[in-house]
Chain A
């Protein structure tokens, strides 16, 4: 699918000048009528709030009384605050822990389920099920599975002689617990995207490699992965964008605890807004996060030329 193919054959036969003017006017009205119902909500609920948030971030404000101008005060305070660093640290821990896990797992599943196999579509369906499940439910069920005292996971570990950790009740294990539950949910998404890519690789290319005597590893590294690079690129970009915005599962699984051990950036934004009524700081922190995400995404877009096929 190529982006932007402006093709319109309507004006192929040029009409008279007055006709064209009248038509142009009506045409313009039609276009506005089709676009405005989407443009207005997008402007009102995304673009304008975005700019408004930047404005709020330059003030001290408790959401009720008048705003007080502080310039970049909120930003300098946030950058100096160890809590901010901790929140970014936990978020980074999540990104670094979850994405490789999900990516390798999803790729393996996609490769395995692209092969001819009995019950293939049923298996695909099962692996995809968690993707359509709400984060809140995922967190709730996993909180229970990972319950240190009576949970199934620690019971199974005990059966094979391993003393299970305290999972989400233990500060050291809180982030790994969140990562485990998230990986379970995200695996199917990566699988489906990569499967779509695998199916678009032409058969003759694979056959040619087979005839040339390339082994399975060689075929994977020299043919499959390079041809899959657009989908891999997409998965990495989306996973990073979503990973840095991790919130729902943290909120429902640990609420940022225990003792702030899983306090991620968005949880911090949420707490600053609704628990501490520091809207200015919250807006500043959300803008910091946005800039981080933007820079990472731009770097990837810039770097994709080096490794993405047909970029």
Chain B
């Protein structure tokens, strides 16, 4: 993205840069120290969470706080999995994420429709789609609950995923990307006799791989972290997701921080792994949202 356009020959820049250089030589060093300190502070809550999760409870509630555990234990993780159904919450959360992925295909289709077809009323319809971004989820919460209840989808994983399956923002991102696919390519396929479904599946989707990657990762993170809908839709404990299970744990056993931190770690570590592996896609996805 950074401009490589250097109309100014480098030698001309050299002179004013000399004055700046004295400042520049010192500042990166100072800035580096400050930024590193800030990064350590930012990362500290994660480190504290993970250390606390493997500490015995007596260490966690001790004062002054112990930085390192007296001995390492995984008992809280086994307790979460064996006694507290966290294994099931984990499976449920993965289920919600998987169902959410279906929405990706649907949104890609709509993005393509808006990007590459012309029809009457396209602009107003697209504008209507964008306005849904501004509607707070709390306004639609009760009626959506009633609709899902009416069709018997409350207390199902599908019901949890359905209200957020399609997002206007997702459609918007696909549309923005797909307008850059050359129309001639699609036209050539049409002349060769390819059907619209085939063009979409074999040309448009493969060409949209970069935006698909971004959206897969974003969908994973939002689905994994989603809280309000699982809280509202799942009244049966057997359908709780990790976020709801942890919120419940917070109310039930407020006195065992080790157990709570273990639960938090179960929820965070997979996302951190996904983040480290797909960092580029994630940051790009968030950055895209800032472009006009």
Show the binding face of A for B, using Cβ within 8 Å.
Answer: 1-10, 27-28, 30-31, 33-35, 37-39, 41-42, 44-50, 52-53, 56, 63, 109, 112-113, 115-119, 123-137, 139-145, 147, 149-152, 155, 184, 187, 189, 192-197, 199-200, 202-204, 207-208, 210-211, 213, 216, 230-231, 234-235, 238, 241, 244-245, 247-248, 251-252, 255, 266, 269-270, 273-274, 279, 282-283, 286-287, 289-290, 293-294, 297
The proximity string for B residues 126-139 relative to A, scoring 1 for CB distances below 8 Å and 0 otherwise, is 10110010111111
* CA A154 to CA B49, docked complex, whole Å: 17
- Interface positions, chain B 203-237, Cβ under 8 Å from A, are 221, 224-225, 227-228, 232
B132 with A8: CB separation less than 8 A: no
Main secondary structure of the interface of A (DSSP, over half): helix
Q: A112-B35, A137-B264, A140-B250 are in contact. Are A200 and B1 (CB under 8 A)?
A: yes
B117 with A30: CB separation less than 8 A: yes
A1 with B176: CB separation less than 8 A: yes
Q: Which A residues touch B103, using CB under 8 A?
A: 41
* CA A30 to CA B62, docked complex, whole Å: 66
A141 with B16: CB separation less than 8 A: no
A8 with B183: CB separation less than 8 A: yes
A115 with B247: CB separation less than 8 A: no
Q: Which A residues touch B282, using CB under 8 A?
A: 128, 132
Q: Which B residues touch A38, using CB under 8 A?
A: 106-107, 109-110, 129, 166, 171
Main secondary structure of the interface of B (DSSP, over half): helix
Most chain-B CB neighbours within 10 Å: which of A1, A137, A150, A208? Answer: A137
Q: Which A residues touch B251, using CB under 8 A?
A: 255
* CA A141 to CA B112, docked complex, whole Å: 42
Q: A137-B268, A202-B5 are in contact. Are A39 and B110 (CB under 8 A)?
A: yes
What residue in chain A is nearest B23 (Cβ atoms)? A216
* CA A287 to CA B136, docked complex, whole Å: 9
A1 with B225: CB separation less than 8 A: no
Q: Which B residues touch A266, using CB under 8 A?
A: 136, 138
- Interface positions, chain B 1-59, Cβ under 8 Å from A, are 1-8, 12-13, 16-17, 20, 23, 28, 31-32, 34-36, 38-39, 42-43, 45-46, 48-49, 52
A286 with B138: CB separation less than 8 A: yes
Closest 9 CB pairs of A and B: A49-B143, A34-B113, A193-B290, A38-B110, A49-B140, A196-B287, A52-B143, A134-B225, A37-B106
Q: List 10 A-B contacts (CB under 8 A).
A: A1-B292, A31-B119, A46-B140, A53-B142, A134-B225, A134-B271, A141-B264, A207-B13, A247-B228, A290-B135
What residue in chain A is nearest B184 (Cβ atoms)? A9
B117 with A115: CB separation less than 8 A: no
B119 with A294: CB separation less than 8 A: no
What residue in chain A is nearest B31 (Cβ atoms)? A112
* CA A204 to CA B12, docked complex, whole Å: 12
B42 with A130: CB separation less than 8 A: yes
Q: A231-B290, A252-B247 are in contact. Are A45 and B147 (CB under 8 A)?
A: yes
- In the assembled complex, the CB of B54 is this many whole angstroms from the nearest CB of chain A, namely 15
